[in-house]
Amino acid sequence: MDGTVRKAVIAAAGKGTRMLHLAVNKPKHLIKVRDRPFLYYVLRNLKEAGITEMILVVGHKKEAMEEFAREYHDEFPIELVDQFEVAGTAKYGTAIPIQCVKHAVGSEPFIAIFGDNIYSSKDIRSIAMNDEFTYVSGFKHAHPEKYGVLLTRGEFLEDIIEKPNTFVSNLINTGLAKFTSEIFDVIDRVGVSPRGEYELTDAIRMLAKQGKVKVKEIKDYWFDFGNPADVIKVSGFLETNRDEEI
């Protein structure tokens, strides 16, 4: 296959309870950072990475997301998919947004990203490989025990260990991935995890056992926009890194 991946799925249906009062009246993805919604910077970096179709999976306070899409429709080619309409509200977990976009994505490969995480366009391009493999992004972290840890053999993923009690690796899963349409068949076989959720990592592990998943290491940066203090952190980062600004 030639070229690079042009589609992206952005999961943004959640409430963002850790953002406390900042997310009472809006999804946390729309909290303002430097006078723009955080989601704006996520989509901007996707666009700079060559993404020309953006499928935004919404749910909680979707009217605010619809308003966002209208406001920025000249800058970003956004298609909205309502997770609650497609899958209902009872099913929960990181696998559900991907399951909901099967018809919107079709047979093309796509980038998958969480709407409360931001990566550089360079790191996004590094996994936008239009081939037969799935790619996941890893980040070397000082406290891997707090995350899902990637076990690798060469460039291939062997397994993902969630919050290991003993050290196995410092390369953690950041949530940025590239999938082929094969993910939809695999994800339908994912059952409920011990914590009562449908986990995307379970689908990735199935593919990894077949030797179909490669790992790319994050070279620039990764921010998880999870709590009120992150508003100041991301704002400061954008201030000091002019090359990542508009």
Which CATH number is 220's domain given?
3.90.550.10
**Confidence at 3, pLDDT banded by 50, 70, 90:** low
138 pLDDT higher than 90: yes
pLDDT digits (tens, 9 = 90+) for 177-189: 999 999 999 999 9
In a domain, 204, yes or no: yes
48 pLDDT higher than 70: yes
Does residue 188 contact residue 99 with C-beta atoms inside 8 Å? yes
In a domain, 1, yes or no: no
Q: Which residues contact 50 (CB under 8 A, 6 or more apart)?
A: 4, 5, 6, 125, 128
- Rounded distance, CA 179 to CA 11, Å? 14
In a domain, 64, yes or no: yes
243 pLDDT higher than 50: no
The token pair at 166 is: 């003993």
Residue 29: CB atoms within 10 Å: 30
237 pLDDT higher than 70: yes
The token pair at 83 is: 């997770």
pLDDT digits (tens, 9 = 90+) for 190-224: 999 998 999 999 999 999 999 999 999 999 999 99
Residue 241 has a pLDDT of 66
**Residue 91 DSSP code:** -
The total number of structural domains in the chain stands at: 1
Average pLDDT, rounded, for the chain: 92
The token pair at 108 is: 């093309």
- Rounded distance, CA 208 to CA 202, Å? 10
What domain range is 21 assigned to? Answer: 7-244
In a domain, 220, yes or no: yes
In a domain, 2, yes or no: no
Distances (CA, A) of 144 to 116, 147, 228: 20, 5, 22
Q: Which long-range contacts (CB under 8 A, 24 or more apart) does 68-73 make?
A: 68/30, 68/37, 68/39, 72/40, 72/43
